[in-house]
Amino acid sequence: MENLSILTHFDYTLMIVAVGAALLGTVSGALGSYAVLRRQSLLGDAISHAALPGIAIAFLLTGSKTPLILVLGAAIAGWLGTLLIMSIVRLTRIKYDSALAIVLSTFFGFGLVLHTLIQRTGNANQAGLDTFLFGQAATLLERDVLTIGILGGIALVVMLIFWKELKLLVFDEGFAASIGFPTRTLDILLTSLLVVAIVLGLQAVGAVLMSAMLVAPAVAARQWTDRLRLMVFLAACFGALAGVSGTIISSTASRIPTGPTIVLCATVVVGLSIAFAPNRGLIWDRIRQQRNRRNLKMETSRY
């Protein structure tokens, strides 16, 4: 009897989960392109780890698991973490990578402590908070997917509106400032978009591995194209692909956390791209080298 009911609900649940994962992959893949091009791949890692205590605090304060409230808590904490990293770099002699490490581990540690405390209280409502660690896409409900769709959509629209400004910021910040664009504000805007992409993925992918959703699709996309527009588009597609395949695999097999599964799927995409992409791919490179060598040999032996 129970098996039967699982079967009837299976398709619907899976569809919700797949839609959520696709939206998630699209948003994080597109915005992750900017992080990768700015050499800020690790910032995503710091933000996602720093967001964890925000979820716990939001739950402690409100006692609710409404996705919007938890996402808001995560976003604020992730934001504060980023701000802290920037301030440490500006005000002290500590370097960027150390500042990242400090903030990441401190916030994450604090988050773990809070989550353990919540679990001890035995609040019946708390079940599921720990999915934010490694992600459990199977727990995605309609309202979660709706939240991801709306907030992610807004983030993408903002990215498209300020396309020219963000491109200039990433390529040549000094020039952008010289012609009057407020680079500090644009920097904050871009970071905020990253924060949005990250916190939306926390439930499905988890804090520990969320940064892979930002970095892997972008790295793979860069292999295939030399145009920013196409790179962002491809990264969005790859992100959706990895998201969907990862979540479906993890939600059909029982209780495999989604984060690791998605990362493995994304790794396959990255691996294929690094190997087979034209121009930048390894195999292409090897073929070109051999052809060049052969041509040179022929030309020099003629005389």
Partner 1 sequence: MSYGTGNEWFPYYEQAFSEGSFSYRTGNELPYYEQVFSDSGVLGMQASEQKAIQVTDLTVAYQDKPVLWDIDLDVPPGVLLSIVGPNGAGKTTLIKAILGLVRPAAGNVLIYDKPYEAQRQIIGYVPQRGSVDWDFPTNVLDVVMMGCYGALGWIRRPGKKERELAMQALEKVGMEAYATRQISQLSGGQQQRVFLARALVQDATVYLMDEPFQGVDATTERAIVTLLQELRADGKTVVVVHHDLQTVTDYFDWVMLLNIRRIASGPVDEAFTSDNLRETYGGRLAFMK
Least distance (Å) between residue 85 CB and partner 1: 20
Instruction: Give the single-character DSSP code of 138.
Output: G
Q: How many residues bind partner 1, per CB under 8 A?
A: 27
- How far apart CA 217 and CA 79 sit, in angstroms, is 23
Cα gap 96→144, rounded to integer Å: 34
Binding track over 103-142 against partner 1, x by CB under 8 A: ----------------------------------------
C-alpha angle 100/152/196, rounded to 5°?
A: 20
Pattern of binders to partner 1 over 154-193, x per CB under 8 A? -------xxxxx-xx-xxx-xxxxxxxx------------
**Do residues 97 and 88 lie in contact, with contact meaning Cβ atoms separated by under 8 Å?**
no
Per-residue contact string for residues 239-278; x = within reach of partner 1 by CB under 8 A: ----------------------------------------
Q: Which is nearer to partner 1, 120 or 227 (CB)?
A: 227
Q: Shortest Cβ distance from residue 41 to partner 1 (Å)?
A: 14
Decide: 115 and 130 in contact? Cβ < 8 Å. yes
- Which is nearer to partner 1, 164 or 302 (by Cβ)? 164
Contact between 247 and 258 (Cβ < 8 Å): yes
Smallest gap from residue 229 Cβ to partner 1 (A): 9
Q: Which of residues 48-107 bind partner 1 (CB under 8 A)?
A: none
How far apart CA 148 and CA 23 sit, in angstroms, is 7
3-state secondary structure 239-262: HHHHHHHHHHHHHHCCCCCHHHHH
Minimal distance in Å, beta carbon 49 to partner 1? Answer: 27
Q: Do residues 235 and 217 make contact, with C-beta atoms less than 8 angstroms apart?
A: yes
Q: In this structure, how many other beta carbons lie within 10 angstroms of the beta carbon of residue 114? A: 19
State which of residues 90, 120, 227, 302 lies at the interface with partner 1 (CB under 8 A). 227
From candidates 19, 207, 231, 244, binder to partner 1 by CB under 8 A: 231
Nearer to partner 1, 39 or 293 (CB): 39
Contacts of 122 (CB under 8 A, 6+ apart): none
Measured in degrees and rounded to the nearest 5, phi and psi for residue 123 equal -60, 125
Please identify, using beta-carbon distances, which residue of 228 and 249 lies nearer to partner 1.
228
Based on CB atoms, which residue is closest to partner 1, 9 or 39? 39
Residues 11, 199, 250: CA angle, nearest 5 degrees: 35
7 binds partner 1 (CB under 8 A): no
Shortest distance (Å) from residue 294 CB to partner 1: 22
Q: Catalog residues that contact partner 1 under the rule CB under 8 A.
A: 37, 39, 161-165, 167-168, 170-172, 174-181, 222, 225-228, 230-231
